[in-house]
């Protein structure tokens, strides 16, 4: 249900959940220290390139989310400078080996001209994380431009596999995504 609402791109819903994240950061130890107030928020692009004309430019879900997090006081600004130059298959509709690899995502990403100021830290913002392939590829591409800058990633939702029942809706966690055995691996 939440994924469907998120994918509807309703800015009011996304901003409401961004405000919930900010509240969780202030009230819960699980996320304290994760959001750096000096971080530049970089939305992770969707699976297709954005249309070239400004008139047809539609914001990605992650861009709405990054703007909502910034409006809620999390981060120093938003820079939509990571772009998709070539389309990749949508992970949600692909199964197993049909899902895009880290290399496919990395090859499809490019950076626009750098932000006005060099960021002190970077927070990649995405809507959903499954294995972490997209986030790992995005971090690797961004690392090329900012090799000394700490990079973290935030996703509003994380998949839990074939879980029959959720114990709670808000279940913040901090984990890692690593390159291991030729693929991305997320823990927890």
User: Which has the higher per-residue pLDDT, 47 or 168?
Assistant: 47
* pLDDT band, very low/low/confident/very high, at 174 (cuts 50, 70, 90): confident
- Is 187 strand, coil or helix? strand
Look at 158 and 129; give whichever has higher pLDDT: 129
The domain ranges of the chain are 2-187
Q: Does residue 162 surpass a pLDDT of 60? A: no
Q: What is the pLDDT of residue 53?
A: 40
Whole-number Å distance between alpha carbons of 122 and 114: 13
Q: What is the pLDDT of residues 62-77, one digit of tens each?
A: 999 999 999 999 999 9
Kindly report the CATH number that applies to the domain delimited by 2-187: 3.40.50
Residue 112 φ/ψ region, left for φ over 0, alpha for ψ in the -120 to 50 degree band, beta for the rest:
beta
């Amino acid at each position: 249900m939440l994924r469907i609402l998120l994918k509807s791109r309703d800015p009011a819903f996304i901003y409401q959940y961004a405000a919930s994240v900010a509240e969780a950061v202030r009230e819960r130890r699980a996320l304290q220290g994760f959001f750096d107030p000096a971080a530049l928020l970089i939305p992770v692009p969707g699976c297709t390139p954005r249309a070239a004309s400004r008139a047809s430019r539609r914001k990605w879900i992650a861009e709405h989310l990054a703007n909502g997090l910034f409006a809620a006081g999390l981060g120093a600004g938003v820079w939509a400078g990571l772009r998709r130059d070539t389309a990749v298959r949508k992970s949600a509709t692909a199964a197993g080996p049909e899902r895009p690899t880290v290399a496919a995502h990395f090859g499809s990403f490019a950076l626009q001209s750098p932000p006005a100021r060099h960021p002190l830290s970077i927070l990649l913002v995405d809507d959903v994380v499954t294995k972490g392939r997209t986030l790992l590829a995005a971090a690797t591409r961004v690392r090329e431009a900012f090799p000394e800058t700490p990079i973290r990633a935030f996703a509003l939702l994380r998949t839990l596999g074939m879980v029959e029942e959720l114990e709670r809706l808000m279940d913040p966690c901090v984990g890692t995504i690593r390159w291991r055995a030729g693929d991305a691996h997320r823990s927890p």
